[in-house]
Structure 1
Amino acid sequence: MALTATIFKAAVDISDIRRHYYRQHRLTLARHPSETDERMMLRLLAFALFANEELHFSRGLSNDDEPDLWQKSLSGEIELWIELGQPSEKRLKRALGLSKHVVILNYGGQEVQNWQQQFAATIQRESKLTVLSFSPQQSRALAELAQRNLSCQFTFDESSIWVSSQDSTIELQPLWQTEVFLPESSH
């Protein structure tokens, strides 16, 4: 018998001072049986970081041809491809070839450093690539906020991300490996 996805409901309040985006979203996240709370919460964070009416979760882990999140134009072009983890060279090239901008949220400790060293030239060369890295402590703290029915607030300023839930507040300070990419917000 195949395992099914676990459904999480999230009421998300976003206050993004950097790009003047202030909205509430009600989201449904399907956590694949092989996905951890850490990875699922990073997907939610990725949504909050780049939130806009056209940004959507894809089929993610259940489909190798799609990113974790993406934003498409009305004509079907991929405007934003968001990937979690450390994509292979083949996957990174595919993402860069298919979309106008690629964002990678790196997490996982030593694996992050190894990936960054391997792709240092690509990261510096590609103007349409943004890489953010989270320490293991930050991503684990985010994972601890996971609940089946989650209500949380994301507040973004120039250097920090504040995530508040019913029980706690954490501060995240990702390392931006490249220039910060801020998509236009639709008002």
Structure 2
Amino acid sequence: MALGATIHTFDVQLADVDRGRYESLTLRVARHPSETDAFMVTRLLAYCLEYEPGIAFSEGIAATDEPAVLVRDDTGRMVAWIEVGAPDAERLHRGAKLADRAAVYTHRDPSKVAAAWAGKRIHRAEEIPLVSFDPGFVDDVAGVLERRNAMTISITERHAYLELNGSSFSTGIHEQRAG
């Protein structure tokens, strides 16, 4: 955890019907002072939507050689490189080469994120999903964050239903390819 980070705890009930994942999770998420609440919420959503054994948050801003979220197999080999925000093409290229698969989750305008990659070399770009949510969704969720959070998230037919600290939200989960 980064020095000066604010720790947020999430008790999560995850029901991902699309992938057949049902879990109860307790997550401690460190938010660096330079990280926005929207970025942290997007990291949390990426973790939940990508959940599988071996998933973990990286050390955040301090981990310049790792993505925001990653998945390792039992041997420690990185199998998924999951970026958040708007990573540059070079970083995404490196991640796609290091892991079996890569993905990007963004709280920004996905067309602007993808435009920054146009014409740049990204390994297996056509296989990398760029995942976004309905406009305003991430900011609305960030608006009800507390230090301790109770969260239920259900995903079905590429739609997420989220309850956080007594407030309910829903969003489409939009996906396009990086290349």
> Structure 1 length normalisation: TM-score?
0.85
- Distance in 2 (alpha carbons) for counterparts of 1:10 and 1:149: 6
Q: Which residue of 2 aligns with 1:117?
A: 115
Percent identity of paired positions between Structure 1 and Structure 2: 29
What stretches of structure 1 of length at least 5 have no aligned partner? 180-187
CA offset digits 1:114-156 (Å, max 9, x no partner):
2212435778x63541111234412211212311000000100
Alignment of 1:1-187 (within 5 A): 4-109=4-109, 112-119=110-117, 126-178=125-177
Aligned-pair Cα RMSD in Å: 2.1
Verify the 8 A CA contact 2:141 2:164 in the aligned structure 1.
Answer: no
User: Could you tell me whether the CA contact under 8 Å between 1:100 and 1:128 is conserved in 2?
Assistant: no
Gaps of 5+ in 2: none
- Between 131-140 and 73-82, report the one with greater CA deviation: 131-140
Distance 1:168 1:14 in 2: 16
> 1: CA distance between counterparts of 2:44 and 2:68?
10
Is the 8 Å Cα contact of residues 13 and 152 (structure 1) preserved in structure 2? yes
Identify if the C-alpha distance between structure 1 residues 151 and 56 changes in structure 2 by more than 3 Å, giving closer, same or farther.
same
C-alpha offsets along residues 64-108 of structure 1, whole Å, 9 cap, x if unaligned? 111001001122221111111111111011111101111101222
Measured after TM superposition, the shift of residue 43 of structure 1 is: 1.0
Give the Cα separation in 1 of the matches to 2:95 and 2:3. Answer: 29
Q: 1:31-72 CA distances to partner (integer Å, 9 max, x unpaired)?
A: 111111111111111111011231001112122111001001
Structure richer in strand, relative to its length: 2
Mapped to 1, the partners of 2:20 and 2:36 lie a distance apart of 31
Q: Secondary structure at the match of 2:46?
A: helix
CA contact (8 A) 1:107 1:135 kept: no
In structure 2, how many angstroms separate the alpha carbons of the residues matched to 1:115 and 1:30? 25
Q: Distance in 2 between matches of 1:80 and 1:90?
A: 17
Q: 1:128 to 1:79 in 2, by over 3 A?
A: farther
8 Å CA contact 2:125–2:177 kept in 1: the answer is no
**Could you tell me which amino acid in structure 1 is paired with residue 173 of structure 2?**
P
Using structure 2 for the length normalisation, give the TM-score. Answer: 0.89
Secondary structure of 2:136's counterpart equals: helix
